[in-house]
Amino acid sequence: MLLTLVTFIPLITAFVVLAIPSEKKAAIKWTALIAAIVVFLLATKLIADYRGGGENATQVFDRQVTTLLEKVQDPGRRRLMEAGVAAIKLDFETRKASDERGPADYAAAVGLTLAENDPDHGTWRSVWELSMAQGAAAAKDIRFVEYAPWIDSFNIAYFMGADGLSLPLVWLTTLLGVLCLAYSWNIEKATKAYFALFLMLQTGIVGVFLALDFFLFYVFWEVVLLPMYFLIGFWGGPRRIYAAIKFFIYTLAGSVLMLVCMLAMYFHAGYDSFNVLTLMEVARGFSHDMQYWLFLGMFVAFAIKVPIFPFHTWLPDAHVQAPTAASVVLAGVLLKMGGYGFFRFSFPLCPDAAAGNIPLWGSFNFVHFLATLGVINIVYGAFCALAQKDFKSLVAYSSVSHMGFVMLGLAALTDAGVQGAALQMFNHGLSSAMMFLIVGVIYDRAHHRNLDKFGGIGTQMPYYTGIATLGFFASLGLPGLNGFISEALVFMGAWDSQAKSAGYPLDPKFVYWALPGIVLTATYILWTVQRVFMGPMKSETYKTFPDVNFREVFALAPLGILCVVFGVWPSLILDFMNSSLSTIVQVVAAVRS
């Protein structure tokens, strides 16, 4: 129930907000903010409860299978079903011992296969699906499970669950929700629509992180699209309409490919299932050919969202044109939907591709592919950031650069690398959100973002400069701040890959190639700090700028504090994610040939 609340309270509030007359702006803002705070508290409760245990997906499905079997009247049929379940379980045990894999596993489901023409086919199918899901390696970490039939005709379920991978992202989303709504207090243009759309957006994003049914996931994924389109298109900068439609078409182009992959998997699963956990189990039997195309298709869908070079061109446009709060959500959590997709779908569903067992062409396999694009992202993004005159597009390109680390860490497939990648997603969520807020603060005063025209802000706005520097240094990766930990972990993981990789060992050369990115990042960030805050004031008007007000501090301070907290105490979050992440590594390790 908790997950449903966290997901749908914003949506319901959005409709409540729409029902409030537009003149009552204060009521609209407060309703939205209070709802966001409630959701944030609920998400915090989820985080707190998660470690406390509780029923995980394995136990839930085990119970459901038992209930299903109890309902079967015919004793003979029931015994056969029990045998099928036992066979599937036995199959899990033996596989774990011997690391054997392949379609032969499905021999275990023989009892169920016999049931093809049974009048009680529906029960057989459910038993099969749930038993398979129960055995998926990821199932043991998934808690707060909500499982209810939704569209029975196609075996689509309302299946929500959270694990160490998704919960931090959900928490981050709800946190940014609160901060962004507070920051948007000064929105005067169509306030009602703005707050309603923002809340709808939040439902979509949280839903994406929590959905464990592929169909449901896709629905949430698409739901994110339209609110963002309007937020950019209506409240954005001068070229907002171009940016909005570009965002729309790019993302949709990616997601339709995901749709095709979803259909392919659905039919390949044998008994038509959208249950992600079931698919994870079934995926072991997918042929290399199948995985090749699946991986490529999902890669494009997620790569556009991350964004990975060469699919990144929508991002600078969208970021630069979007209103500040939308940029924050875009960089903070929307990009993570892509990264999350790699963790949750690409890797577990195409383990052979992820392990580098399948050549992309020649001797170049998917591990090389991801690592290369990751390095390109890091270096190319940093170079582009260096060349920007516009403050906001500099931050946008820095996002491209930082998301490259996620790819590199994933490609390394060591414990450290994958942890670094996941942590980098979370940290980038904090630091990029902070940077966009920082840009927003100065833009609200100067009404321009040209870096060459700033200067000397430091003396005029000391508190602002302090917070801003903290944010920039977190993004730069200064030791003691959060960015450092994740980037270091990624590099360590990539370096160790030769020895410890669960998949194809990555050449340490990739680390060398990525290193210039670090130097370039330091360069553009320090240069920016210098251009904006130091030196003489380039305009008299800057003298009139007030320092940060309460609203801005309210949005910025929590992020700054968290950057420090996770910088000095990374295990707080690493321990939390550890189990879920090592599962991904193990799944891939199991298929490495």
The two structure tokens encoding residue 83 = 């045998």
Please name every residue paired with 213 in a beta bridge, in sequence order, or none if there are none.
275
Q: Which of 151, 387, 526, 561 binds another protein (CB under 8 A)?
A: 151
Q: Is 229 in the site for another protein (CB under 8 A)?
A: yes
CB of 194 to another protein, least distance (A): 12
The tally of CA atoms less than 13 A away on the side-chain side of residue 238 is 2
CB of 337 to another protein, least distance (A): 15
- The contacts of residue 153 (CB under 8 Å, 6+ apart) are none
- The contacts of residue 431 (CB under 8 Å, 6+ apart) are 402, 471, 474, 475, 482, 483, 559, 563
Phi, psi for 247 (deg, rounded to 5): -60, -45
The two structure tokens encoding residue 261 = 């992959």
The three-point CA angle 487-490-491 to 5° equals 90
Q: Is 37 in the site for another protein (CB under 8 A)?
A: no
| Secondary structure element (H or E) that encloses residue 364, with its range | strand 364-365
| CA 535 to centroid of chain Cα atoms | 39
- Find the largest Cα–Cα distance for the chain: 89
Number of residues that bind another protein (CB under 8 A): 30
- The contacts of residue 496 (CB under 8 Å, 6+ apart) are 412, 414, 416, 417
Q: Is 265 in the site for another protein (CB under 8 A)?
A: no
**CB closer to another protein, 16 vs 252:** 252
Q: Candidates 46-54, 234-242, 332-340, 562-570 — which segment interacts with another protein by CB under 8 A? A: 234-242
Residue window 267-286: x/- pattern of binding to another protein, with contact defined by CB under 8 A: x-------------------
Q: Is 222 in the site for another protein (CB under 8 A)?
A: yes
Q: Which of 81, 259, 358, 490 binds another protein (CB under 8 A)?
A: 259
Residues in the chain, overall count:
593
Q: Which of 223, 522, 529, 589 binds another protein (CB under 8 A)?
A: 223
CB of 276 to another protein, least distance (A): 17
CB of 567 to another protein, least distance (A): 39
Q: Is 244 in the site for another protein (CB under 8 A)?
A: yes
**CB closer to another protein, 214 vs 533:** 214
Q: Is 197 in the site for another protein (CB under 8 A)?
A: no
Q: Which of 2, 5, 87, 219 binds another protein (CB under 8 A)?
A: 219
Q: Candidates 66-74, 147-155, 369-377, 549-557 — which segment interacts with another protein by CB under 8 A? A: 147-155
DSSP 8-state assignment for residue 117: G
Q: Candidates 64-72, 107-115, 255-263, 407-415 — which segment interacts with another protein by CB under 8 A? A: 255-263
Which 306-345 residues touch another protein, going by CB under 8 A?
Answer: none
Please name every residue paired with 148 in a beta bridge, in sequence order, or none if there are none.
158
| Secondary structure element (H or E) that encloses residue 150, with its range | strand 143-151
Q: How far apart are CA 502 and CA 592, in angstroms?
A: 7
Say whether the peptide bond before residue 307 is cis (omega within 30 degrees of 0). Answer: yes
Q: Candidates 225-233, 393-401, 463-471, 525-533 — which segment interacts with another protein by CB under 8 A? A: 225-233
**CB closer to another protein, 82 vs 222:** 222
CB of 260 to another protein, least distance (A): 6
Q: Candidates 122-130, 220-228, 473-481, 533-541 — which segment interacts with another protein by CB under 8 A? A: 220-228
Whether 568 and 427 have beta carbons less than 8 Å apart is answered as no
The two structure tokens encoding residue 412 = 């390394």
Summarize as ranges the residues that interact with another protein (CB under 8 A): 151-154, 218-219, 222-223, 225-226, 229-230, 233-234, 240-241, 244-245, 248-249, 252-253, 256-257, 259-260, 263-264, 266-267
